[in-house]
């Protein structure tokens, strides 16, 4: 049995997702809806039962002709590819041998003229391991999470220098709050866009008001803003996702002029304490830019002394002939980007 769910079937979609033991927010319909608004493609939940196994995969289906580099070169609605929504995804599989499940998946992809798929597997689920015979799985850098077993574990896993920074933030009058209401999402948007300006971010990483409205309204139980205030001014804020015992550090920004107060350090510590008090097991922080051990990675590493997980990606070509034809339409490139025709 192979079933494809769209956002028009959001209730069934989420019921299927929540029937799996190891799901996270990234698979929920409310999460991907915001990225459809952002222009990332058509969200689909793929569900398959075969050979004693069952699995789900969340994808964004993209029309290759909509890529500006193929405009007027190929007709619309002829070739498609799949990618993981912003964040993480990939197949979550339960039960027996998954080979028959992947056989049905490939047959569906070929029927629907899907050329390729790019996957960002969830480091906390380790769901890449069940997919290694079907995808070209690539091991990338280390990523950081916080263990929320107890307040004592949270504090003891933070390195001493970071503890001092957190104490200093408290001493300097930084206060942390959390909630979900329209005004805080608008404040977050302003702070986050300023951070993207500071980092010379690509246009993709700027989200419109409708995007944040969707996060507020379509993830009422799974997303909120943690924010730091100093003398009544919001100086840092982060959108935190939460589901099924897992918290995820999603989007974040801060005001540069208050960076010496380390508001984000205190924010993450307080978010971890909130998660512990509300039954969550982990707070996933992620890694560095491009999986590098850069300053961002070192900032996150200061919150956890324990063993780290690895980030994996997956690549799959369903139609090699069409893939090569599309690649040949582009100027030659040595980029390792996948799919190559979108490099």
Residue 50 has pLDDT above 80, yes or no: yes
Residue 243 has pLDDT above 80, yes or no: yes
Residue 248 has pLDDT above 90, yes or no: yes
How large is the average pLDDT for residues 244-250?
98
Tokens of 189: 């948007």
How large is the average pLDDT for residues 272-286?
98
Q: Which pLDDT score, from 0 to 100, does residue 27 have? A: 98
Lowest mean pLDDT among 26-35, 209-218, 219-228, 288-297: 288-297
Secondary structure of residue 244 in the 3-state scheme: coil
Short-list 53, 128, 150, 37, CA closest to 97: 53
Q: Which pLDDT score, from 0 to 100, does residue 293 have? A: 84
Q: How far apart are CA 343 and CA 334, in angstroms?
A: 9
pLDDT bucket at 173, cuts 50 / 70 / 90: very high
For residue 15, count other CB atoms closer than 10 A to its CB.
11
Centroid of chain to Cα 70:
27
Residue 235 has pLDDT above 80, yes or no: yes
Q: What percent of the chain has pLDDT over 90?
A: 93
Mean pLDDT (the chain) is 96
How large is the average pLDDT for residues 147-157?
98
Per-residue pLDDT of 280-334, as tens digits, reads 999 999 999 887 889 999 999 999 999 999 999 999 999 999 999 999 998 888 8
Pairs from 149-157 (Cβ < 8 Å, separation ≥ 24): 149/276, 149/281, 150/276, 151/273, 151/276, 154/269, 154/272, 154/273, 154/276, 156/305, 157/303, 157/304, 157/305, 157/306
Q: Which pLDDT score, from 0 to 100, does residue 89 have? A: 98
Q: Which pLDDT score, from 0 to 100, does residue 335 have? A: 85
Lowest mean pLDDT among 47-61, 150-164, 284-298: 284-298
The Cα-based distances of 64 to 4, 67, 73, 135 in angstroms read: 20, 6, 10, 21
pLDDT bucket at 228, cuts 50 / 70 / 90: very high
């Amino acid at each position: 049995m192979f079933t494809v769910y769209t956002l028009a079937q959001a209730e069934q979609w989420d019921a299927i997702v929540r029937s799996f033991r190891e799901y996270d927010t990234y698979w929920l319909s409310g999460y991907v809806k915001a990225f459809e608004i952002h222009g990332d493609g058509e969200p689909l939940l793929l569900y398959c039962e075969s050979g004693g196994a069952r699995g789900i995969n969340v994808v964004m289906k993209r029309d290759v002709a909509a890529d500006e580099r193929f405009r007027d070169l190929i007709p619309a609605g002829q070739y498609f590819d799949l990618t993981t929504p912003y964040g993480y995804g990939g197949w979550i599989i339960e039960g027996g041998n998954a080979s028959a499940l992947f056989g049905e998946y490939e047959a569906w992809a070929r029927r629907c003229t899907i050329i390729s798929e790019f996957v960002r597997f969830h480091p906390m689920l380790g769901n890449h391991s069940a997919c290694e015979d079907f995808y070209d799985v690539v091991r990338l850098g280390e990523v950081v999470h916080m263990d929320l077993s107890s307040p004592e574990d949270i504090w003891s896993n933070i390195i001493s220098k970071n503890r001092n920074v957190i104490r200093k933030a408290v001493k300097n009058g930084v206060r942390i709050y959390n909630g979900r209401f329209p005004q805080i999402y608008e404040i977050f948007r302003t702070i986050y866009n300023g951070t993207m300006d500071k980092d010379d971010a690509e246009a993709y990483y700027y989200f419109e008001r409708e995007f944040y409205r969707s996060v507020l309204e379509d993830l009422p139980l799974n997303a909120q803003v943690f924010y730091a205030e100093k003398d009544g001014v919001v100086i840092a804020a982060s959108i935190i996702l939460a589901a099924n015992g897992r918290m995820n550090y999603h989007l974040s920004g801060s005001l540069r002029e208050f960076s010496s107060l380390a508001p984000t350090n205190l924010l993450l510590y307080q978010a971890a304490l909130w998660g512990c008090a509300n039954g969550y097991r982990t707070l996933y922080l992620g890694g560095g830019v491009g999986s590098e051990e850069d300053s961002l990675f070192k900032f996150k590493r200061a919150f956890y002394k324990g063993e780290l997980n690895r980030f994996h990606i997956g690549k799959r070509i369903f139609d090699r002939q069409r893939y090569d034809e599309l690649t040949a339409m582009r100027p030659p490139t040595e980029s390792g980007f996948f799919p190559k025709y979108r490099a």
